Amino acid sequence: MSGEISGNSDNVKQLTHQAVQIDVEQGSKSFGEKQVLKDINLSIEKGQFVAIIGQSGSGKSTFLRLAAGLDELTKGKLLYNQTSLDQSTINVTMMYQDSRLLPWKSVIDNVNLGLETKGEKRAEQVLDAVGLLEHKDKWPAQLSGGQQQRVALARALIHEPSLLLLDEPLSALDAFTRLEMQNLIEEIWSKLGFTTLLVTHDVREAIRLADRIILIEDGSVAMDLEIDHPRPRQLSDTKLVVLEEQILNRIMNGEVDESLKEKLSI
Amino acid sequence: MKETWYEKLQPWIIPFILLISWQLVSTLGIISENLFPSPLSVITSGWQLTASGEIVEHLVASLGRAGVGMLIGGIIGFTFGILNGLSNKSYRFTDTTIQMIRNVPHLALLPLVIVWFGIGETGKVFLVVIGVLFPIYVNTFHGIRNVDPKLVEMGKMYNLKGWKLFKNILLPGALPSIFVGVRYALGVMWLTLIIAETIPTQVGIGYLATNAREFMQTDIIILSIVIYALLGKLADLIARIGEKKLLTWNESYK
């Protein structure tokens, strides 16, 4: 099994456009009467790995859809690279909780989906990078859940993203597979340096992967933490364990722990 | 798991027993051979008609009517199914009308069709068209509407629009449902043809049966029925092979 886990990520070096910077200025989003995001101000740097956490219905997935250009702010502005309002000026790709592979296309055709020029070779390189080259001619239904998400990752990468959006892509996987996928995503991100937004329920996952954790509560940014901890991170590291505890407490009790940053000196 | 020869044989045991009993009932004279000819005499007259080439002529005529009707009705049903599946405007504009016509039992149109088109080919083909149109329309429509919206959203994320979105996601997603429509329409097609061929004609399996009735040739009548059954089975088989070929990705068609 270990042969297919690691993959060969040397193959993906060229697969990136310039990473993108995202600025949200007084962004609000309502669906009819219901206001989902309220007056958000955020600046996400080029190449940053940002985890967005929060409870269900807090508006975190809505934020991701806005960044993807699938939805528009009701009020305020969302700017790409400080100037552009138009999502189509950058390469955005997305991974969902379910793989959303087309069941009627082979693995490699799924990876090639939507490309103007079909590059069999490039698709093979990307599949190799996620460790699935030998499965390229199979149907998605013949793969395990973890493998399907790898294909979805390959499909996202082949578009040379400057922004990768991850909408809880690992939450349906078993613990072991999830760990593998976290490693793979981190490895590829470090190589390619695209800006990444990860929406997750899992605080440990956020701490494990992100440069910065944003907690969204009731449509507002309730906490914005930079994590300047060397990678790869060991979750057993005392600092990270304490941090996890603090964040969980913050989410569960809604208390702002002023001393958090001092204690951790981060 | 592979079926053993015995398991393969199993479905044919009861038909075989029925056939043997039928033959016995006839040859032992329990029922008059004139009313209920034995399988052997049906096969014999079938052989004679084949040898004289007569049967081919009738088969070609019937298949032609069925095929042309299926093609025209299929294209109309498919087109409206796709249009209304994709566009709410088109759906609001045409669906109610289509549903109203659909609820008329098309075979009840027979007397009207004779008045309209006379006893030529047009009326027969027309009936088949009306018969097959609706199952294909309904199933194509629902197929398109039931494509997973998550896949459509994913497609848009990956720059699939218009024709590309249709070709890569909507049509393949609707295909299993469309095939259900086609197979159902094939059944309707034969049924309609049987009725349509009671309109006076000089050629076709229906003519064969009607003509045989005039002369009390019960063996030919039964032969016609058997031919209809075989044609129906054959059409379904072809549709299933097509299904298997096009839907290899789908677990339920393995």
The ipTM assigned to this model is 0.82
Instruction: Name the most confidently modeled range: A86-100, A176-190, B79-93.
Output: B79-93
Chain A residues with CB-CB distance to B169 below 8 A: 102
The residue to which tokens 């969902």 are assigned: A96
Q: What percent of chain B has pLDDT over 70?
A: 98
How far apart, in whole angstroms, are the C-alpha atoms of residue A18 and residue A40?
Answer: 25
Q: Residue A218: CB partners within 8 Å, gap ≥ 6?
A: A38, A58, A59
Instruction: Tell whether A24 is within 8 A of chain B (Cβ).
Output: no
Quote the pLDDT of residue B130: 95
- pLDDT(A6) > 60: no
Walk across the sheet containing A163-167 and list its strands. A92-95, A163-167, A195-199, A49-53, A212-217, A220-226
How far apart, in whole angstroms, are the C-alpha atoms of residue B153 and residue A100?
Answer: 9
Chain B residues with CB-CB distance to A140 below 8 A: 249
Quote the pLDDT of residue B103: 92
Chain A residues with CB-CB distance to B153 below 8 A: 70
Sign for the pseudo-dihedral over CA of A105, A108, A109, A114: positive
Indicate yes or no: CB of B158 within 8 angstroms of CB of A102. no
Indicate yes or no: CB of A102 within 8 angstroms of CB of B159. no
- pLDDT(A139) > 60: yes
Instruction: Note whether A13 and A191 are within 8 A (CB).
Output: yes
Quote the pLDDT of residue B8: 86
Instruction: Note whether B134 and B102 are within 8 A (CB).
Output: yes
| A 59-88 residues with CB < 8 A to B | 68, 70
Instruction: Tell whether A235 is within 8 A of chain B (Cβ).
Output: no
pLDDT band at A206 (very low <50, low <70, confident <90, very high): very high
Domain A2-264 has CATH 3.40.50.300: yes
For chain B, residues with pLDDT lower than 70 are 1-2, 253-254
Quote the pLDDT of residue B27: 85
Quote the pLDDT of residue A12: 61
Nearest-CA residue of chain A relative to B170? Answer: A102
Residue B170 C-alpha, separation from nearest chain A C-alpha, in angstroms: 11
Quote the pLDDT of residue A69: 86
Query: Looking at chain A, which runs of residues are DSSP E strands?
Result: 22-31, 34-44, 49-53, 75-80, 92-95, 163-167, 195-199, 212-217, 220-226
Quote the pLDDT of residue A257: 54
* Tokens matching residue A199: 């929406």
Fold of B65-248: MetI-like fold (1.10.3720)
Indicate yes or no: CB of A103 within 8 angstroms of CB of B248. no
Of B168, B172, B248, the CB nearest to A113: B168
Lowest mean pLDDT of A76-80, A136-140, B179-183, B250-254, name the range.
B250-254
Chain B residues with CB-CB distance to A103 below 8 A: 249-250
- What is the Cβ-side half-sphere exposure of residue B138, based on CA atoms within 13 angstroms? 16
Chain A residues with CB-CB distance to B251 below 8 A: 141
Domains of chain B, residue spans: 65-248
- pLDDT(A164) > 70: yes
Quote the pLDDT of residue A2: 34
Q: Residue B131: CB partners within 8 Å, gap ≥ 6?
A: B69, B73, B106, B107, B185, B188, B189, B191, B192
- pLDDT(A259) > 80: no
- pLDDT(A55) > 90: no
Nearest-CA residue of chain B relative to A106? Answer: B249
How far apart, in whole angstroms, are the C-alpha atoms of residue B185 and residue B149?
Answer: 28
Quote the pLDDT of residue A5: 46
How far apart, in whole angstroms, are the C-alpha atoms of residue A202 and residue A175?
Answer: 12
- What is the overall mean pLDDT for chain A? 85
Across the range A127-142, mean pLDDT stands at 91
- pLDDT(A108) > 50: yes
Quote the pLDDT of residue A266: 45
Indicate yes or no: CB of B172 within 8 angstroms of CB of A104. yes
Lowest mean pLDDT of A84-93, A138-147, B61-70, B86-95, name the range.
A84-93
Indicate yes or no: CB of A139 within 8 angstroms of CB of B248. yes
Q: By C-alpha distance, which of A229, A241, A237 is closest to A266?
A: A229
Q: By C-alpha distance, which of B79, B178, B83, B76 is closest to B128?
A: B76
What is the DSSP secondary-structure string of B195-219? HHTTS--SSSHHHHHHHHHHTT-HH
Start-end of H helices in A81-139: 107-111, 120-129
Quote the pLDDT of residue A27: 87
Interface probe for B, chosen from A98, A100, A126, A149 (most Cβ of B below 10 Å), is A100
- pLDDT(A14) > 70: no
